[in-house]
Amino acid sequence: MTHIARAKASSCVLAAALLVGITAPVASAHSAPASAAREAHARIPFTQAKVTALDDGSYTVEWKAPGTHRVAVKAGGRTVATGGSTGKVTVRGLPAADRQWFDLVPERGGSLHLADRLIALEGTVNFRDAGGYRTTDGHWVKMGEIYRSDALDKLTTADLAKLRRLSIRTVYDLRTESERAAAPDRVPAGGTHVVADVLAGSPTFTAMPTTPEEGVAMMVEGEKFMVSGDTAKAAYRTVFGGIADDSAHAVVFHCTAGKDRTGWANAALLTALGVPRSTVMRDYLASNDYRAEANAAALASMPAAQAAVYKPLLDVRAEYLNSGFAEVGEEFGSFGAYEKKVLGLDAKDVRALKRDLLVG
């Protein structure tokens, strides 16, 4: 993997030999079909697949694999369920594990190695896997390599041990100096903590809004800064340098709520890997679900008028992320140019990133 050179508060506060001679034509004639056959065999037939952990300790596994007649669902090396081209099964009685993995194995083609996206920890609510998504060309983003999270200051000793067993090696802290001082990260033993302060230079969050409309405008402007602000550009280049460095994996990047600064980091990563915008948006908006209880509690503690002003700061909304992508177009012309000029990823680097983080 090519190593990339390594180079505020938002709602996060609240919240990838030629042979010469007469036999050459014969070799070419046979190698092309053989190569095509190998590629077809490895191609992953799943267009949708997801694992969901349920409160009772069971799991639902669902998939769509058009043209496939049989899919085996395996856990721990044994088949726990089977189905056809479309399936949804509930698996019970599995032994306790830090993270329960499933292999979806079709009768032909490549298999998928999946787990529930959320990492259940006592000290976080929004620690989740960046992977498990399908790209526009039929590849899948590996799980267990890159994670996104809210603040890590409340991690328990058990949480830290779990993250160490999940091979978390590098933590990228996207928060401001004041956030880090008030709530220092707890990092798994042997892990490296790297400061990548996204909003250090932003003038956007110097005063709180007084109306809901001002709150929305603040979030939109903050998203734009995450794209084109100088400190943001430096911070995200640092993060992507670690993502592109195999020896740094597994990597987690986080802010306070794990939704804005973290949300843009993951949106940029998934986009670079070729995940369609609709899926990128779904991943971004999922913070509303994972943070629903915490957000509701925060709003319930405020007078109604104040809660109305703060709600836009606690939410993630499509218009926020869309403003970031619009800023990419306005400032850089294309996402490819943003990758190169800001993230430090040229075409060769992007190909290497995809080789590392995609399967299929």
**pLDDT over 70 at 7, yes or no:** no
* Total domains, the chain: 2
User: Whose structure tokens read 């599995």?
Assistant: 94
Q: Tens of pLDDT along 266-310?
A: 999 999 999 999 999 999 999 999 999 999 999 999 999 999 999
Do residue 248 and residue 183 come from a single domain?
yes
**Helices marked H in the chain:** 24-42, 157-165, 177-182, 212-228, 230-243, 261-273, 277-290, 292-300, 304-314, 318-332, 335-338, 347-357
Catalytic residues: 255
Q: At 27, is the pLDDT very low, low, confident or very high (cuts 50, 70, 90)?
A: very low
Q: Are 51 and 90 in contact (CB under 8 A)?
A: no
Q: Are 325 and 222 in contact (CB under 8 A)?
A: no
Inside any domain, residue 6: no
Better-predicted residue by pLDDT, 36 or 127: 127
Inside any domain, residue 259: yes
- Tell me which DSSP letter residue 94 carries: P
Inside any domain, residue 104: yes
Segment holding 98, helix H or strand E: none
Inside any domain, residue 15: no
Inside any domain, residue 55: yes
β-strands 48-53, 78-83 pairing: unpaired
Among residues 85, 92, 82, the alpha carbon closest in space to that of 53 is found at: 92
Inside any domain, residue 37: no
Do residue 218 and residue 300 come from a single domain?
yes
Distance CA 170, CA 107 (A): 38
**pLDDT over 70 at 17, yes or no:** no
> Which distant-in-sequence residues (6+ apart) come within 8 Å of 109 by Cβ?
40, 41, 42, 43, 44, 45, 65, 68
Do residue 176 and residue 307 come from a single domain?
yes
Do residue 214 and residue 304 come from a single domain?
yes
- Tell me what percent of the residues of the chain surpass a pLDDT of 90: 86
Instruction: Please tell me the pTM assigned to this model.
Output: 0.88
Q: Tens of pLDDT along 67-87?
A: 999 999 999 999 999 999 999
Average pLDDT (44-57) is: 97
Q: How far apart are the first and last CA of the chain?
A: 18
Q: Are 228 and 325 in contact (CB under 8 A)?
A: no
Q: Torsion-angle region of residue 167: left (phi > 0), alpha (psi -120 to 50) or beta?
A: left
Tokens of 123: 């000290």
Segment holding 105, helix H or strand E: strand 101-106
CATH of the domain at 316: 3.90.190.10
Half-sphere exposure of 41 (CA within 13 A, CB side): 6
Q: At 42, is the pLDDT very low, low, confident or very high (cuts 50, 70, 90)?
A: confident
Inside any domain, residue 39: no
Q: What pLDDT shows up at residue 353?
A: 97
Q: List the domain range (segments joined by +) for residue 87.
A: 45-109
Q: What pLDDT shows up at residue 330?
A: 98
Distance CA 62, CA 352 (A): 30
Do residue 131 and residue 66 come from a single domain?
no
Tokens of 139: 């590849």
Distance CA 73, CA 112 (A): 10
What mean pLDDT is reported for the chain? Answer: 90
Distance CA 217, CA 313 (A): 10
Do residue 155 and residue 103 come from a single domain?
no
User: Whose structure tokens read 């004041």?
Assistant: 178
Do residue 175 and residue 81 come from a single domain?
no
Q: Are 212 and 219 in contact (CB under 8 A)?
A: no
Do residue 305 and residue 264 come from a single domain?
yes
128-129: strand order across its sheet: 128-129, 146-149, 251-254, 170-173, 192-195
Q: What pLDDT shows up at residue 201?
A: 76
Q: Are 162 and 122 in contact (CB under 8 A)?
A: no
Q: Are 190 and 166 in contact (CB under 8 A)?
A: no
Inside any domain, residue 23: no
Peptide linkage before 250 cis (omega within 30 of 0): yes
